[in-house]
């Protein structure tokens, strides 16, 4: 009987020690996404628990109705060329595969924001609109679920392995890689946030 009492006493002491360590440790407040954006930011869309929101949307009537649409038939009715139909279907499949992948949840599952920085458009000549200018004005800030797995997640995101170059700016390390469209992408991981542009 004394043996069981001693085992129970040791287990209780260990449990009490673990509980006191857990509850007494300092809580580090999370940095708000809005606080890391420049003051001149002109637009911000922020979503918490993105993967959960997507799953809820898929289960709703609108999500189910869109999933059940016969997209090739609709494109035929609209007179979309077979070549463009193929590109649209490939893009749709890539988006679906991206959203369903585990890295998507690792990178964007907790909190994600899309911010637009100031840029100018000459409305007198809309044909001169340069989409690169818009891409350069977009900043993505996210709170990855597992910051340590960001690099691994990014590498599985693209068809070919990424060649990362590291740049140092003040106290930050900024990673650069080139997308398939020859567009450079930059990101930094600080304060538990990933910032990309």
- pLDDT band (50, 70, 90) for residue 9: low
Separation of alpha carbons 93 and 98, rounded Å: 8
Asked whether residue 142 is assigned to any structural domain, the reply reads yes
Task: Give 106 or 148, the one with higher predicted confidence.
Answer: 106
DSSP state at residue 68: T
User: Is residue 164 assigned to a domain?
Assistant: yes
Residue of 48, 53, 51, 54 lying closest to 32 (CA atoms): 48
Is 20 among the domain residues? no
Mean per-residue pLDDT for 124-145? 78
pLDDT tens track for 46-98: 888 888 888 888 898 988 888 888 888 888 888 889 898 898 888 888 888 87
**Burial bucket for residue 47 (CB in 10 Å: 0-12, 13-18, 19+):** middle
In a domain? residue 78: yes
- 184 lies in which domain range? 29-196
Answer whether 177's CB lies under 8 Å from 162's CB.
yes
Is 80 exceeded by the pLDDT of residue 146? no
Q: Where is 74: in which H helix or E strand?
A: helix 71-78
Cα 44 to Cα 72, 79, 102, 159, distances in angstroms: 34, 36, 25, 30
Please tell me the distance from the alpha carbon of residue 179 to that of residue 197, in angstroms, as a whole number.
Answer: 12
9 in a structural domain: no
Distance of CA 138 to the CA centre of its chain: 13
The dihedral built from the CA positions of residue 136, 181, 158 and 101, taken in this order, carries a sign that is: positive
Provide the β-strand partners of residue 180. Answer: none
127 CA to centre of own chain: 31
Token look-up 């924001």 returns 113
Residue 81 in 3-state DSSP? coil
- Bridge partners, 186 (sequence order): 176
Note whether residue 126 is domain-resident.
yes
Assigned domain for 14 exists? no
How many separate domains does the chain show?
1
Separation between Cα atoms, residue 50 and residue 37, nearest integer Å:
20
């Amino acid at each position: 009987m004394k043996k069981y009492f001693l085992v129970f006493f040791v287990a209780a002491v260990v449990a009490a020690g673990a509980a006191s360590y857990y509850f007494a440790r300092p809580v580090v407040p999370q940095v708000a996404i809005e606080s890391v954006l420049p003051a001149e930011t002109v637009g911000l869309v922020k979503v918490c628990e993105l993967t959960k929101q997507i799953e809820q949307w898929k289960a709703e009537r609108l999500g189910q109705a869109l999933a059940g649409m016969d997209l090739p038939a609709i494109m035929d009715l609209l007179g979309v060329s077979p070549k463009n139909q193929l590109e649209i279907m490939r893009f749709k499949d890539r988006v679906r595969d991206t959203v369903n992948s585990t890295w998507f949840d690792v990178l964007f599952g907790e909190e994600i924001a899309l911010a637009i920085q100031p840029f100018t458009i000459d409305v007198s000549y809309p044909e001169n609109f340069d989409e690169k200018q818009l891409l350069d004005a977009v900043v993505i800030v996210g709170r990855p679920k597992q910051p340590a797995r960001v690099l691994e997640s990014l590498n599985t995101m693209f068809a070919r392995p990424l060649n990362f170059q590291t740049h140092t700016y003040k106290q930050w390390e900024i990673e650069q890689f080139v997308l398939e469209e020859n567009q450079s992408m930059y990101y930094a991981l600080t304060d538990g946030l990933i910032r990309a542009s």
